[in-house]
Amino acid sequence: MRPRHLLIGNWKMNLGPKEARPFARELKAKACATSRTDVWVTPPTASLEAVASELSGTPIAVGAQNVHWANAGAFTGETSPLFLADLGVKFSLVGHSERRTLFGETSEQVAQRTKNALSAGLTAVVCIGETEAERTSQQTEAVLLEQLTPVLDVVDANSAVRVIVAYEPVWAIGTGKVASLQEIQDAHRFIISTWNSRKLSRPAVVLYGGSVNPGNFSEILRLPEVDGALVGGASIKIDQWLSLISIAEETPVGQ
Ligand code: PEP
């Protein structure tokens, strides 16, 4: 359980530098004075510099959507965690389902990306989740374990404080189908007990992601196993994003 809610906006391949800068300026004006919510955003790579410079000196953390397992070399199209750190980037998503399904990233590669992000001092937000077919065939826990185990194998007592898990059922991402409260609670409990079996230095931090919007967020965030949310579509519409932040601000932590 985290002492504050955590809301992360995944902008995906939206908001290029020209749109990202005014968006970040509006966030700076309206979302900095939160009392119980940390607000983080992940612009696309091309907008990182603009957003990081706009939000520099504010409590809003800027993250990348992916990070490479090497620090430099012949890896066309990839981004070193050292370069991200130079830009003022504080964290990176790893293993988002779009990376796994559209770009073929394996759980082993996700673990290597996580390991190198942690070595560079970044926080890693590790995304895991089952497809609809895997849920229907009762494979949810097996899939979560297969995706989480290689990551936990590269986390140690020092780096555990910089690992966050995002449970994102693939069938709920960008579809408008949100998981039921029971499904979220069961998956989060499973992730927490898997994390606890490793005797790491701090408790698991687990976010929910998948079609979160201002209409469903409050009841999700009230689940005691939910530390916050990873949000796609609703994070690039400023009104919805500000509403989600207000809902988090109204929700006591640990409810
Ligand atoms: C995501 O991209 O991680 C996500 C959860 O998207 P959406 O909120 O649009 O379902």
**What pLDDT, on the 0 to 100 scale, is given for residue 1?**
76
pLDDT, tens digit, for every residue of 36-60? 999 999 999 999 999 999 999 999 9
**How many whole angstroms separate alpha carbon 96 and alpha carbon 8?**
13
- 199 C-alpha to ligand 1 centroid (Å): 30
Atom 1, ligand 1: which residue's CA is nearest?
A: 232
Q: Is 173 in the pocket of ligand 1 (CB under 6 A)?
A: yes
Which residue's alpha carbon is at the smallest distance from atom 4 of ligand 1? Answer: 232
Q: Is the pLDDT of residue 2 over 90?
A: no
Atom of ligand 1 nearest to the CA of 212: 8
Arithmetic mean of pLDDT, 112-117: 98
Whether the predicted pLDDT of 199 surpasses 90: no
Residues sharing a CB contact under 8 Å with residue 4, sequence separation 6 or more, in sequence order: 36, 37, 38, 253
Annotated catalytic residue within 96, 105, 130, 188: 96
Cβ partners under 8 Å of residue 13, min gap 6: 44
> Which residue of 11, 168, 170, 241 sits with most ligand 1 atoms within 8 Å of its CB, as the best mutation to test the pocket?
168
- Ligand 1 atom closest to Cα of 172? 10
247 lines ligand 1 (CB under 6 A): no
- Phi, psi torsion values for 242, nearest 5 degrees: -65, -35
| Amino acid letter, residue 77 | G
| Residue 231 Cβ contacting ligand 1 at under 6 Å | yes
For 118-138, how does the pLDDT look when each residue is reduced to its tens digit (9 = 90+)?
A: 999 999 999 999 999 999 999
CA angle, 80 then 25 then 43, to 5°: 30
8 A C-beta contact, residue 29 and residue 60? no
* pLDDT surpasses 70 at 255: no
| Ligand 1 nearest atom to the CA of residue 12, by list position | 2
Average pLDDT for residues 127-150, to the nearest whole number? 98
Q: Which of 52, 53, 60, 64 is nearest to 27 (CA)?
A: 60
CB 149 within 8 A of CB 142: no
Instruction: Tell me the backbone φ, ψ of residue 93, rounded to 5 degrees.
Output: -70, 150
pLDDT at 252 over 80: yes
pLDDT confidence of residue 110: 98
Q: Are the C-beta atoms of residues 97 and 133 closer than 8 Å to each other?
A: no
Write out the chain in H/E/C secondary structure: CCCCEEEEEECCCCCCHHHHHHHHHHHHHHCCCCCCEEEEEECCHHHHHHHHHHHCCCCCEEEECCCCCCCCCCCCCCCCHHHHHHCCCCEEEECCHHHHHHHCCCHHHHHHHHHHHHHCCCEEEEEECCCHHHHHCCCHHHHHHHHHHHHHHHCCCCHHHHEEEEECCHHHCCCCCCCCHHHHHHHHHHHHHHHHCCCCCCCCCEEEECCCCCCCHHHHHCCCCCCEEEECHHHCCHHHHHHHHHHHHHCCCCC
Whether residue 210 has its Cβ less than 6 Å from ligand 1: yes
Candidate of 7, 128, 211 to mutate for ligand 1, largest count of ligand atoms within 8 Å of Cβ: 211
Q: Over the chain, what is the mean pLDDT? A: 96
Question: How far does residue 2's CA lie from ligand 1's centre (Å)?
Answer: 21
pLDDT digits (tens, 9 = 90+) for 164-198: 999 999 999 999 999 999 999 999 999 999 999 99
CB 144 within 8 A of CB 187: yes
Q: Is 68 a residue of the active site?
A: no
Q: Tell me phi and psi for residue 225, to 5 degrees.
A: -85, 0
Short-list 116, 55, 124, 118, CA closest to 87: 55
Q: Which amino acid, 2?
A: R
